[in-house]
Chains A and B, each alone.
Chain A
Amino acid sequence: AQSVTQLDSQVPVFEEAPVELRCNYSSSVSVYLFWYVQYPNQGLQLLLKYLSGSTLVKGINGFEAEFNKSQTSFHLRKPSVHISDTAEYFCAVRPSSNTGKLIFGQGTTLQVKP
């Protein structure tokens, strides 16, 4: 069975500082990896995805993530955060099946302070 672990429930950071949100997954089959962002009182929006190819994936709003197969990780990074990045971030895996369903991690709340 597949699972996703987000290692930090909350990450406080000052504006313009770099940030890394950690995500580890477990799977015995090939997976596809995603990061979603949820702003207050909204649904989830796709930030970026890893399907294949280059292990460094760039997404919207200046975020990027690196797929590390040996460490089964898919950490999300941004070199300089803004107040508007305050949100909850979810890592998810999509097993290589034909159901399309996603398995989500517990979420990490990013709190950007001025």
Chain B
Amino acid sequence: NAGVTQTPKFRVLKTGQSMTLLCAQDMNHEYMYWYRQDPGMGLRLIHYSVGEGTTAKGEVPDGYNVSRLKKQNFLLGLESAAPSQTSVYFCASTQGRSYNSPLHFGNGTRLTVT
């Protein structure tokens, strides 16, 4: 059981380049999230989705776009990378609105923008 899989694990970009981070879950979860983790700031929510074809902004959405074309996949795009987007990105998913269902996290993508 793979759970939540993030691709790639590491990436180095130059300022202005674009890339897409892929998150895939095999648990048939409805809700998916993208967080970024920075030292001393915990995890901050970028965008999230409560179902296939839906997305919504989180706490720090600027500079990112997302798509949820298939239930199992949640893509995070950076159109023009900036050094401020150097971070570790985590994808998470949960079954739905039940408060008894925890978030399941991927192992993260470490992105460096030079």
- Do the beta carbons of B42 and A107 come within 8 Å of each other? yes
- Do the beta carbons of A45 and B105 come within 8 Å of each other? yes
Interface size bucket, A side? Answer: 20 to 34
Q: How many residues of B contact A (CB 8 A)?
A: 28
Q: How far is the CB of A108 from chain B (nearest CB, A)?
A: 10
Selected from A41, A45, A94, A107, the residue in CB contact (under 8 A) with B99 is: A94
- Do the beta carbons of B106 and A43 come within 8 Å of each other? yes
CB-based A-B contact count at 8 angstroms: 65
- Do the beta carbons of A90 and B42 come within 8 Å of each other? yes
Q: How far is the CB of A9 from chain B (nearest CB, A)?
A: 7
Residue-by-residue, is B93-110 near A (CB-CB < 8 Å gives 1, otherwise 0)?
Answer: 010110111110111100
- Do the beta carbons of A98 and B90 come within 8 Å of each other? no
- Do the beta carbons of A99 and B108 come within 8 Å of each other? no
- Do the beta carbons of B102 and A99 come within 8 Å of each other? no
Q: Does B58 contact A (CB under 8 A)?
A: yes
With A46-B102, A106-B42 as given contacts, are A101 and B107 in contact (CB-CB < 8 Å)? no
Which residue in chain A gives the minimum CB-CB distance to B39?
A: A107
- Do the beta carbons of A106 and B94 come within 8 Å of each other? no
Which residue in chain B gives the minimum CB-CB distance to A52?
A: B99
**B48 surroundings in chain A (CB, below 8 A):** 99-101
With A43-B106, A90-B43, A106-B41 as given contacts, are A100 and B31 in contact (CB-CB < 8 Å)? yes
Within 8 A of B (CB), among A26-83: 32, 34, 41-46, 49, 51
Residue positions of B touching A, CB distance < 8 A: 4, 31, 33, 35, 40-45, 48, 50, 56, 58, 90, 92, 94, 96-97, 99-103, 105-108
Q: Told that A44-B92, A100-B48 touch, could you supply 12 new A-B pairs with CB distance under 8 A?
A: A32-B99, A41-B108, A44-B43, A45-B105, A99-B48, A100-B94, A102-B43, A102-B45, A104-B35, A105-B42, A106-B41, A106-B42
The 9 closest A-B pairs by CB, nearest first: A43-B105, A104-B42, A104-B43, A46-B102, A98-B97, A44-B105, A106-B42, A100-B31, A43-B107
